[in-house]
Structure 1
Amino acid sequence: MSPTARFRALPLRSRLALLVSVAVAVAVAAVAAVSWVMVRTQLRDQLDRSLMATNPSAQVLRTLSEPCVAAPSRPAQDIAGNLNPTVQIVLADGSHCWVSGLTNLPVSPADQQVAEGRRPSALHDATAADGTGMRVYTFAARTQPNAPVFGISVAKPLADIDKPLSTLAWVLLLVSGIGVVGAGAAGLWVARTGLRPVDELTGAVEHIARTEDLTVRIPDEGDDEIARLSRSFNSMTAALASSQERQAQLIADAGHELRTPLTSLRTNIELLARSEETGRAIPPEDRRELLASVKAQMTELAALIGDLQELSRPDAVSPGPLGVVALHEIAGSALSRARLRGPELDFTADLAPWYVRGEAAALERAVVNVLDNAVKFSPPGGTVAVSLRAGELAVRDHGPGIAAEELPHVFERFWRSPSARALPGSGLGLSIVARTVQRAGGSAELRAAADGGPGAEAVLRFPGAPTPPPSEPSVVPDQ
C-alpha cells in the first residue's frame, strides 16, 4: 500500500492531527533554522569586529619589527588588549613568527598578500597547528612611514561561538520537539472537538439506515459549516419523511379506490360464473347489464391505473420532450374531445394565440381533465365556456358549483366532494392537472364563478414562451 493510500485509510481526526503536527513541525523547524543562522551571523560579526578593533601603537610596531627572537609578551598584550588571542607576525616571504597564544597559525595566501603590502587586511577561517579552528584577522603594519610592510595576524578560536551555537541548537531542538508534540495533541483535541457534530451526524445516519426512523433530528445551533450541514441533513430527512408519508397515503388511497371497482367486478364475474356452473341461464336483459357493468368497471380500473402511473412519475422527469407548443391549438383539440363526451352541452370558445414551453401530450391531457370535470358537473343543456387570454385558460361550467370550504382540497389526490362521490372518477384528474401546469411553470386554481352565477370556474395560468413561432391564426373560431 502506498503512503498516500495508508494516509487516506486513517480516520479523519487522525489525518487532521497528523497534518497539524506536520505543519507545526515545518513552521518550527523553519523558525529554529532562521534563528540559529541569525545568532551565528551575529556572533561571527561580533567576533570579527573585536578582532578588527586591534590598533597597535608605534612603540609596539617597532618592537614587533625586530628579529623574531624571544618576542616579548607585553606588545602582544597591547595589541590584543583583554581578548586573549593568538598573535603572530607574517613577513613578505611567507614566514611567520609566533608572538602570543597557545599555537601557531598557518600563513594563507591572503595573509602573505597583506604582508607584501598588496592588500590592507584579510579575514578568514583557519585551522591552527593543534587542529583548533580559528578566526584570523591579518592587517598590514609599519614601524615608521618608510619602513617595510609586515603583517600582524590576530586570531581567536571559533569554539568561542561554536559552543554557544551548539547549546542553542540543542535548546531549539528540544523546544521544537515539545512544540510538535504539543501541536499534535492540540490538533487531536481540536479535531475531536470540531468533528463531534460530524460524529453525531454519522450516528444519526447510521440510526436511520438501521431503523428507518426519519424523525431523528440533529442540533443545528450556529452558522458554521457543520451547522449548515446539520440543517441540510434535517431538511433532507424531513423531505424523505414527507415523501414516505405521501407514498403511504397514495398506496392507502389507491387501495381504497381500487377496492370498490374490484369488488363490483368480482361480484358480477361470480354471478356469470355461477350461472355457467349451475346451468341456470341469466335473463338476457340482466346478462347484458352485467356485461355492461363489467366493461364499465374495467374501463374505470384502466383509467385509475393510468392516473396512478402519471402521478408516480418523478416531478423532475418530463414524460416527453419539451418544446414551444401552441396552447390555443391544444385547447382546441381538447375541446373537440370534450364535445364528444358531452353532446348535450353547449360549448363556447374564445381562444387567443398563446405559446408555452412544455410537453404537448401532457398539456392536452390536463386540459381534457378540466373539460371532463366541467362536463361531469354540467346539467343537461348547460353551457361550458372556454377562453384563453394572455396565458390564462378559463373553463366555466354552470353546474352546482363547489363549497368554499372544499376549494383548498380540490387538487389533492383522491379527494372528491361529497356530491361527486356517486359520479364516476378516481379523484386524481385535478391532481394531474395541477402537477402538469406546475411543470410548465404555471399555476392552477378552481374558484366560484366570477359573475356570481351558478357553477365553478377552473383557471390555468401559463407563462409565455420567449419566441413564439410566426404565422399562427390569431383566434381559434368557435365550432
Structure 2
Amino acid sequence: MTGPLRRIRALPLRSRLALLVATAVAVAVAAVAVACWFVTKAQLEHQQDTSLRNTTVDGRYLTSLYSYCLGTGQQLPRTDSGLTVQLIDAQGTVCTDPESAALPVTASDLAVVNGERPTALHSSTDADGVKMRVFTKPGEVKGVGQPSLKIGISFARPLSEIDKPLTTLAWVLLIVSGIGVVGAGAAGLWVARSGLRPVDELTEAVEHVARTEDLTVRIPVEGEDEIARLSRSFNSMTASLATSRDRQAQLIADAGHELRTPLTSLRTNVELLARSDETGRAIPPDDRRALMTSVKAQMTELASLIGDLQELARPDAADPGPLQVIALHDIARTALDRARLRGPELTITAELAPWYVRAEPAALERAVVNVLDNAVKFSPHGGTIDVVLHRGELMVRDHGPGIPADELPHVFERFWRSPSARQLPGSGLGLSIVARTVQQAGGEIDLRPAEGGGTEAVIRLPGAPQPPPEPPRG
C-alpha cells in the first residue's frame, strides 16, 4: 500500500487532482449504478410475482389438462407463451402439459394442496434445468366421469425474463459509468490546469525573482479566493523585500557619506603629524595640542557612529535582548548625571516620580541619554533644561532654537539632520535609535515645539508606580 501511495505523491499536483476527481466520480457512479441495478431487480421481481399472482387460466383448460394426465388423449389448448401450468394432488403427483418441463414439488406446495396455507411463492428449477419463479394456489378439477378433486395449481415463469434485462442493464451501466469516469478524469484535468494556472504564474514569478533578484515583479490579483490571497501575500512580500533592500542600500550610502567627513578630517590631521615627523619641522605646541584634540574628537565621533550603525543594523524583528522590570526614574537619573558632565554650563532641573517599566536596560538608558544629549546640544550657553517624569511620561524640554514645523516629520529618519545642525557633531542616528527602542518597549515618543521657544521631547512607556511583586520561590 505504501508503494502506490508513494507513486501517487510523486505525481504532479494537477495529475493528483485529476486522479482524485476521477476516483471520486468513479465511486459515486459505481454507487449509483449498483443502487440502480438493485432497485431495477427488485422492481422486476415484484412485477413478475404480481403477474404470477394475477395469472388465471380457463377452467376448461384445467379440465383438459387433468383429463390429458389421466390418459384420455384429449388435445390441450395453448397457454400464454413462457407460462408453465402444473397440477399437484395431495400425494405430490404432478401433471403438466407435454411442452413444459415438470417442476419439483416443495413442502409449501403440498401445504397449499392440503389447505394448510393459502398460497406459496418460491423459486425452483424445472426438469430441464431452467430456473423458474413458481406461484401455487389451491384449485379444484373434475375429469370426465371422475369426481371433483382438490389440487394445487402452480404457475411458473422463467427467471430469465428478469435476468436478461438485468444483464443488459448491467452492461449499459458499466459502459455509461466508464464514459463518465473518463469524462470526469478529463474534466478534472482541465479544472486542475485552469485552477492551478495562478499557482503556475506564482511559481514562475518566484523562480524569476530567485534567478534575477528582480523584486519589482507583481502578480495580477483577481477575486477573493485562496489563490488571490496567496498572490497578494507574494506581492506584499516582494514589496517588503524591495523596501528592505532599498533601505539597506540607502543605509550604506548614508553611512559612507557620514563616515567620509570624519575620516577625511582624521586623515588630514594624521598626514600633518606624519609630515612634521618626516620633514623635521616641529609643529608649535599649541597647534599640536589642538591637532591631537581634533584627532581624539574625530575618533570619538567615529566610534559613536559605528556603534549607532551596529544598533541600526539589527533587524526590527530581532530579539532586542532580555526584557526586565527596571526603574525608569533611576535610568533617567543616571542619564542626567552624564548630561550634566557634557553641559556643565547648563542648568538641568529634574522632577522624577517613580515609574517601573519592562524593557532592555542598556537600550533604554541609551535612548534617554540620546534625548538628553540632543537637549544639551541645542541649548544656548547658560540655558536651562527641564526634565519631568510623571506616570510614565518622561518630558525633556530645552530652550534652544526649536525645530521648524516642516522638519518635525523627518526627525526620526535615519541620518536626517536639520540644516541648522549640520555643523554640530552627530550622525543623525540618535533619534532614530530612540524611536526604535521606545517602540520595542511598547511606548511612543513625540517631539513638539515648546511654549515660549525650544523643543519638548516626550517619551511615554507603559508601566506602574510600584514594581510588580516577585513570584514566590520554591
Q: Identify whether the pair has TM-score above 0.5, normalized to the shorter chain.
A: yes
Distance 1:267 1:292 in 2: 14
Q: Which residue of the partner structure matches residue 456 of structure 2?
A: 457
**SS of the residue 2:348 aligns to:** strand
- Single out whichever of 113-122 and 237-246 deviates more from structure 2: 113-122
Q: Which residue of the partner structure matches residue 437 of structure 2?
A: 436
Distance 1:248 1:100 in 2: 109
CA contact (8 A) 1:76 1:100 kept: no
**SS of the residue 1:151 aligns to:** strand
- Single out whichever of 368-377 and 393-402 deviates more from structure 2: 393-402
Shift of 1:2: 1.8
**SS of the residue 1:51 aligns to:** helix
Distance 1:466 1:157 in 2: 101
**SS of the residue 1:347 aligns to:** strand
Shift of 1:60: 6.0
User: Where do 1:32-51 residues align within 5 Å?
Assistant: 32-51=33-52
What CA deviation, in whole Å up to 9, does each residue of 1:103-129 have, x standing for no partner?
222233433443444433322222222
Distance 2:261 2:437 in 1: 28
User: Where do 1:73-472 residues align within 5 Å?
Assistant: 74=76, 77=79, 82=80, 84-99=82-97, 101-143=99-141, 149-449=150-450, 451=451, 453-464=452-463, 468-469=467-468
Amino acid at match of 2:182: V
CA contact (8 A) 2:348 2:384 kept: yes
So what's the TM-score if we normalise by structure 1?
0.89
CA contact (8 A) 1:322 1:358 kept: yes
- Single out whichever of 296-305 and 56-65 deviates more from structure 2: 56-65
Q: Which residue of the partner structure matches residue 10 of structure 1?
A: 11
**SS of the residue 1:110 aligns to:** helix
Shift of 1:59: 6.2
> Per the alignment, do residues 259 and 50 of structure 1 end up closer, same or farther by CA in structure 2, a change over 3 Å counting?
same
Shift of 1:185: 1.4
> Per the alignment, do residues 73 and 392 of structure 1 end up closer, same or farther by CA in structure 2, a change over 3 Å counting?
farther
Amino acid at match of 1:457: E
Distance 2:110 2:270 in 1: 130
Distance 2:258 2:440 in 1: 26
> Per the alignment, do residues 426 and 72 of structure 1 end up closer, same or farther by CA in structure 2, a change over 3 Å counting?
farther
CA contact (8 A) 2:82 2:158 kept: no
Q: Which residue of the partner structure matches residue 26 of structure 1?
A: 27
Shift of 1:134: 1.3
State the number of aligned residues: 464
Distance 1:221 1:455 in 2: 53
CA contact (8 A) 1:324 1:465 kept: no
**SS of the residue 1:413 aligns to:** coil
Distance 2:287 2:109 in 1: 137
Distance 1:125 1:114 in 2: 16
Amino acid at match of 1:122: A
CA contact (8 A) 2:68 2:74 kept: no
Amino acid at match of 2:88: V
Percent identical across equivalent pairs? 70
Shift of 1:363: 1.4
Shift of 1:384: 0.4
Distance 2:247 2:439 in 1: 18
Amino acid at match of 1:358: A
- Single out whichever of 262-271 and 345-354 deviates more from structure 2: 262-271
Shift of 1:366: 0.8
So what's the TM-score if we normalise by structure 2?
0.90
Amino acid at match of 1:104: A
CA contact (8 A) 1:356 1:464 kept: yes
Amino acid at match of 1:462: L
**SS of the residue 1:404 aligns to:** coil
Distance 2:368 2:457 in 1: 10
The RMSD of aligned alpha carbons is 2.6
Structure 2 unaligned segments of length 5 or more: list them: none
